[in-house]
Structure 1
Amino acid sequence: MSLRSRFQQTKDLVEKGFDKLTVPGPCDPYINDDIIPLPPHRRTWTQTTFNFFWLATSINIGGLTGSASILSLGLSVPQAVACDVIGSVIICAALVANGCQGGKWHIPFAVGNRAGWGVRGSWFVVANRLILSFCWYGVQTWWGGQVTKNMIGAIWPQFYRMRNHFPASANMETNDFIAFVIFWTISLPLLAIRPERYRIPALISSIAVTISVIALLVWALAKEGGGGPLFYDTHKTTGVAALKGSKLAWTMARGVTTTIGGWAGGIMYQSDFSRYARRSGDQIMGQIFIIPVCLILGSFIGVVVTSCAAGFYPDEGLLWRPYKLMEVIQEKENSSGARAAMFFLAFSFFLSQLCVNIAGNAITGGIDLASMFPKYVNTRRGPFIVAVVGFAMNPWQLVNTANTFISVLSGYSIFLGPLAGIMIADYFVVRRQNLRLSHLYIANTSSIYWFWHGLNPKALVVWALAVFPSLPGWISVLSKGKISMAQGWVLTSYLAWPLGFAIASTLWVAINRIFPPPGLGEVDETDVFGTFDEVGDPLDTEKAGRDDEEEDKKISKPQSEKGVEGNYIVER
Structure 2
Amino acid sequence: GVDMWRNIFAGGALWLAIYGTLVLNFCDFARSSPCRKTIRVGNFWGLPVNILVFAMITVVLCGAQFQINGQIIDSPTQIVAAIPSTPLLVLGCLAFLIVTVAVNIMANFVAPAFVLSNLAPRHLNFKRAGLISATLAVLILPWNLYNSPLVIVYFLSGLGALLGPLYGVIMADYWLLRKGCINVPQLYSEDPAGAYHYTKGINLRAVAAFLPAALLAIVLALVPNFHSVAPFSWLIGAGIAAAVYLLIAPRHRQYFDVSGECIAVDHSSH
Aligned to 1:516, which of 244, 247, 251?
A: 251
Structure 1 residue 461, shift from structure 2 partner: 1.6
Partner of 1:319: 73
Corresponding letter in the other structure for 1:357: N
- Give matches, 1:440-451, under 5 Å: 440-451=187-198
Partner of 2:261: none
Structure 1, unaligned runs of 5 or more: 1-243, 478-484, 524-572
Structure 1 residue 295, shift from structure 2 partner: 1.4
Give the Cα–Cα distance (whole angstroms) in 2 for the partners of residues 510 and 490 of structure 1: 30
Corresponding letter in the other structure for 2:115: D
Corresponding letter in the other structure for 2:8: M
Structure 2, unaligned runs of 5 or more: 257-270
Give the Cα–Cα distance (whole angstroms) in 2 for the partners of residues 387 and 377 of structure 1: 14
- Give matches, 1:27-46, under 5 Å: none
Partner of 2:137: 390
Partner of 2:63: 307
Partner of 2:165: 418
Partner of 1:29: none
CA displacement 1:224-256 (0-9 Å, x = unmatched): xxxxxxxxxxxxxxxxxxxx33x3443333222
Give the Cα–Cα distance (whole angstroms) in 2 for the partners of residues 432 and 370 of structure 1: 30
Aligned to 2:212, which of 435, 456, 465?
A: 465
1:268 and 2:24 equivalent? yes
CA displacement 1:267-290 (0-9 Å, x = unmatched): 211111011111244212331354
Partner of 1:504: 241
Structure 1 residue 398, shift from structure 2 partner: 0.9
Structure 1 residue 458, shift from structure 2 partner: 1.0
DSSP 3-state at the match of 1:410? helix
Q: Is the Cα–Cα contact under 8 Å of residues 260 and 410 in structure 1 kept in the other structure?
A: no
DSSP 3-state at the match of 2:182? coil
Structure 1 residue 322, shift from structure 2 partner: 0.9
Give the Cα–Cα distance (whole angstroms) in 1 for the partners of residues 43 and 177 of structure 2: 25
Q: Structure 2 length normalisation: TM-score?
A: 0.83
Q: Structure 1 length normalisation: TM-score?
A: 0.42
Structure 1 residue 459, shift from structure 2 partner: 0.7
1:428 and 2:165 equivalent? no
CA displacement 1:199-227 (0-9 Å, x = unmatched): xxxxxxxxxxxxxxxxxxxxxxxxxxxxx
Give the Cα–Cα distance (whole angstroms) in 2 for the partners of residues 425 and 272 of structure 1: 21
Q: Is the Cα–Cα contact under 8 Å of residues 470 and 492 in structure 1 kept in the other structure?
A: no
- Give matches, 1:281-296, under 5 Å: 281-296=37-52
CA displacement 1:357-410 (0-9 Å, x = unmatched): 223222222111112111111212221111111110112211112222232223
Q: Is the Cα–Cα contact under 8 Å of residues 157 and 222 in structure 2 kept in the other structure?
A: no
Give the Cα–Cα distance (whole angstroms) in 2 for the partners of residues 364 and 311 of structure 1: 42
Partner of 1:370: 117
DSSP 3-state at the match of 2:229? helix
Q: Is the Cα–Cα contact under 8 Å of residues 434 and 522 in structure 1 kept in the other structure?
A: no
Structure 1 residue 499, shift from structure 2 partner: 2.1
Q: Is the Cα–Cα contact under 8 Å of residues 363 and 382 in structure 1 kept in the other structure?
A: no
With over 3 angstroms needed to count, the CA separation of the structure-2 counterparts of 1:504 and 1:288, relative to structure 1, is farther
CA displacement 1:13-71 (0-9 Å, x = unmatched): xxxxxxxxxxxxxxxxxxxxxxxxxxxxxxxxxxxxxxxxxxxxxxxxxxxxxxxxxxx
DSSP 3-state at the match of 2:124? coil
Partner of 2:265: none
Corresponding letter in the other structure for 2:147: N
Partner of 1:475: 222
Moved over 6 A (4+): none
Give the Cα–Cα distance (whole angstroms) in 2 for the partners of residues 312 and 248 of structure 1: 23
Q: Is the Cα–Cα contact under 8 Å of residues 425 and 505 in structure 1 kept in the other structure?
A: yes
Structure 1 residue 451, shift from structure 2 partner: 1.2
Q: Is the Cα–Cα contact under 8 Å of residues 421 and 501 in structure 1 kept in the other structure?
A: yes
With over 3 angstroms needed to count, the CA separation of the structure-2 counterparts of 1:358 and 1:294, relative to structure 1, is same
Partner of 2:6: 250
- Give matches, 1:134-153, under 5 Å: none
Give the Cα–Cα distance (whole angstroms) in 2 for the partners of residues 250 and 468 of structure 1: 24
> How many equivalent pairs are there?
256
Q: Is the Cα–Cα contact under 8 Å of residues 21 and 107 in structure 2 kept in the other structure?
A: no
- Give matches, 1:336-351, under 5 Å: 338-351=85-98
With over 3 angstroms needed to count, the CA separation of the structure-2 counterparts of 1:289 and 1:429, relative to structure 1, is farther
Partner of 1:278: 34
Q: Is the Cα–Cα contact under 8 Å of residues 362 and 382 in structure 1 kept in the other structure?
A: no
Which has the greater radius of gyration? Answer: 1
